[in-house]
Amino acid sequence: MRRLATLLALIGCLASCGDTPPGSSAAPDVMTVSLTGSPAAMVWQAQCAACHGATGEGNQALAAPALTQLSAQYLIRQLTHFVGGIRGSHPDDNAGKRMALSVANLSESDIAGLAALITTELPPAQPRATIKGDADRGKDYYVNICSACHGGNALGNDALGAPALAGVNDWYLQSSYQSYLNGIRGAHPDDVHGAQMARLAPALANRDDIDDVIAYIASKPPLRSP
């Protein structure tokens, strides 16, 4: 695992050279972010920051989304799914397989600590828009298809297992939704919430319609502001 952390750190350094990748958030000055030195901070720096960014701002080039607008409950569930093989086991889920490998050694306490650190100590990411769509048109689709679970303001509903969408990278929303349509996500029998999303996804299958909905979501303010 130490070799993997070193390799991921090298990849992260190479990916961060030059211009900021399209769609990634502008990274806050790392010197202004003071983590506690807790076990969770050490795990973050060793195993997560190389892909997701030192401050959790995400990196599109590595298919690693910003994480800081997601709830701790959702993060815990997804990390647990990666560790347990519920996510990242589909043969076509290349990004998921990389993620599952990188967190395979995490304990329950590691996962809980990471979720707390991401949601309380890392600064809230403000992803840039990379997808063009008609937000006004997308609003109609969102209200009628998505809002019952993800909320009228796209801030999610932990009671329904529905994550926040506002403040999440638009390119990640697009790729994740396509994964549900393609049967890559939500296919595992133990992924209860993912299976529900996979069943509902065909109600919005046209790419232009999806982009319109994502454009509308991108117009909504996230829960955490800078």
Q: In terms of domains, do 77 and 139 share one? A: no
- Take residue 74 and report the two structure tokens written for it: 């959702």
- pLDDT, position 4: 38
Model confidence at 51: pLDDT above 90: yes
Q: In terms of domains, do 140 and 113 share one? A: no
Residue 148 counted as domain residue: yes
Spatial distance between the Cα atoms of 35 and 137, rounded to a whole number of angstroms = 42
Helix intervals (H) in 85-206: 94-102, 108-120, 135-141, 147-150, 170-181, 192-200
Domain residues for 148? 135-218
* CATH code where residue 175 lies: 1.10.760.10
Q: How many helices (H) and strands (E) does the chain have?
A: 11, 0
Angle between helices 170-181 and 207-218 (to 10 degrees): 140
pLDDT 10s digits, 188-214 = 999 999 999 999 999 999 999 999 999
Residue 128 counted as domain residue: no
Mean pLDDT of the chain: 87
Q: In terms of domains, do 12 and 87 share one? A: yes
| φ, ψ at 30 (rounded to 5°) | -60, -30
Average pLDDT for 72-95: 97
Note whether 133 and 219 are within 8 A (CB).
no
Residue 129 counted as domain residue: no
- What's the number of domains the chain is made of? 2
Q: In terms of domains, do 112 and 152 share one? A: no
Instruction: Give me the residue label for tokens 């994550």.
Output: 163
Model confidence at 15: pLDDT above 90: no
**Residue 157, strand partner residues:** 162
- SS3 of the chain: helix, strand, coil, percent, to 5: 55, 0, 45
Q: In terms of domains, do 106 and 153 share one? A: no
Q: How far is CA 1 from CA 6, 77, 103, in A?
A: 9, 22, 9
- pLDDT, position 23: 40
Q: In terms of domains, do 116 and 139 share one? A: no
Q: How far is CA 173 from CA 18, 63, 108, in A?
A: 25, 11, 27
Buried b (16+ CB within 10 A) or exposed e, 11-36: bbeebbeeeeeebbbebbeeeeeebe
